[in-house]
Amino acid sequence: MHIDLSGRTALVTGSTQGIGAAIATGLARSGAHVAVNGRSRSSVEAAADKLRGEVDGARVTSVAADLSTEEGAARVVDLLPEVDILVNNLGIFGARPALEITDEEWRRYFEVNVLAAVRLTRAYLPGMTARSWGRVQYIASDSAVVTPAEMIHYGVSKTALLAVSRGFAKEAAGTGVTVNSVIAGPTHTGGVEDFVYELVDRELPWEEAQREFMRRHRPQSLLQRLIEPEEIANMVVYLSSPYASATTGGALRVDGGYVDAILP
């Protein structure tokens, strides 16, 4: 399948590393003009330079802004007034005993993981519908469906994204714009490596630590390994393409069979 996104502009939030960087790379390889986002100008510039080095002829724009704030979102929209593909990837996670999660932490997870995506959707969806073409995606998680006991605040924020996605898909009904969420399973990123070592013996070599983590904390996985970021990106690139024109309002799983359900 050849996916050609030439002439399309894509904004991938939180794309200086991990899943976001893999998505930005996948979209650039398909010809999209990609805006890389992060809070730090230095990290954004480094990620943009890396992307240009990996993809010949890549068109890349650096957008440094903290999207958990109204000011940050406004800055992005000023720098990038029109977007054809919006990938709301920005998110934070971390382990915390349920009864120790403070009000401040609950608010922070909602601001970063949910409201940042809502703000940008509100900003860019009208332009997409006016042009009769657009793609909005939210990177959710298996934790949206299988709430993890060790980080329920994260799980709740990802559950909210599924509802946000479905609701905005209804708002875009009949316009040529599709809105979907992607349920990502346990994925191999630098941040996840740190998280794994919070839960298993830090003295274990990485491959052994990964197997122990999956065995003890994610035994439902049918892959029985962490997913690579590029595997998540493949789904996002497909959903960004004309081939996915009839897929909207959905929650599509790239979870390695983690969620034990027949339907999404």
Mind listing the pLDDT tens digit for each residue in 30-42? Answer: 999 999 999 999 9
Order of all β-strands in the sheet with 177-184: 60-64, 33-38, 9-12, 85-88, 134-141, 177-184, 251-254
Is residue 232 a contact partner of residue 139, using CB atoms and an 8 Å limit?
yes
Q: At what angle do helices 206-217 and 190-199 cross, to 10 degrees?
A: 70
CATH homologous superfamily, domain 9-187+228-254: NAD(P)-binding Rossmann-like Domain (3.40.50.720)
Concatenate the DSSP letters of all residues of 23-66 into one string: HHHHHHHTT-EEEEEES-HHHHHHHHHHHHHHSTT--EEEEE--
Show the tokens assigned to 182. 């992607």
238 catalytic residue (yes or no): no
Nearest-angstrom CA–CA distance, 85 and 134:
6
SS3 content of the chain, % helix, strand, coil (to 5): 50, 15, 35
- Taking the chain, what is the end-to-end CA distance rounded to the nearest angstrom? 24
Given the residues 154, 197, 238, 258, the one annotated as active site = 154
- For the chain, domain boundaries: 9-187+228-254, 189-226
Per-residue pLDDT of the chain (264 residues; tens, 9 = 90+): 899 999 999 999 999 999 999 999 999 999 999 999 999 999 999 999 999 999 999 999 999 999 999 999 999 999 999 999 999 999 999 889 999 999 999 999 999 999 999 999 999 999 999 999 999 999 999 999 999 998 999 999 999 999 999 999 999 999 999 999 999 999 998 878 888 998 999 999 999 999 899 999 889 899 988 999 999 999 999 999 999 999 999 999 999 999 998 886
